[in-house]
Amino acid sequence: MIIKKGEMVCNGCGGVGGVGDILQDECPKCFGTGKLDWIENVVGKRDPSLSFWDMVDEPTRMMAENFIEKIKSGDIRKKRIYVDGKFGD
């Protein structure tokens, strides 16, 4: 394993990428890579098998999809915005 600048060995698996008696399970902290950057070490690494929408709850997903459809169909039109004492486009 090559550790680049800004990366560190995962303290969840000691850099081997697996956990358990015979390392049969993928490390839940680094997802098998054996390394993390400092941000991932603090907040955790995102599961690479999940897409953005897999992490969004169903009501939020439905609302976003509905909003996107309204934009595509033209139901939501560009509005004039009042900024700094005048209307802008």
Per-residue pLDDT of the chain (89 residues; tens, 9 = 90+): 788 898 999 988 888 888 877 767 888 888 888 899 988 888 878 777 777 777 678 888 888 888 888 778 776 665 555 566 665 55
Beta strand segments in 1-89, E:
7-9, 18-19, 25-26, 35-37, 81-83, 86-88
Compute the distance between CA of residue 62 and CA of residue 52 in angstroms, rounded to an integer.
14
Q: Identify the pLDDT of residue 56.
A: 76
Q: Using a cut of 0.75, tell me whether the model's pTM lies above it.
A: no
Identify any residues that bridge with 26 across adjacent strands, giving them in sequence order.
Answer: 18
**Structure confidence by residue, pLDDT tens digits, 62-83:** 888 888 887 787 766 655 555 6
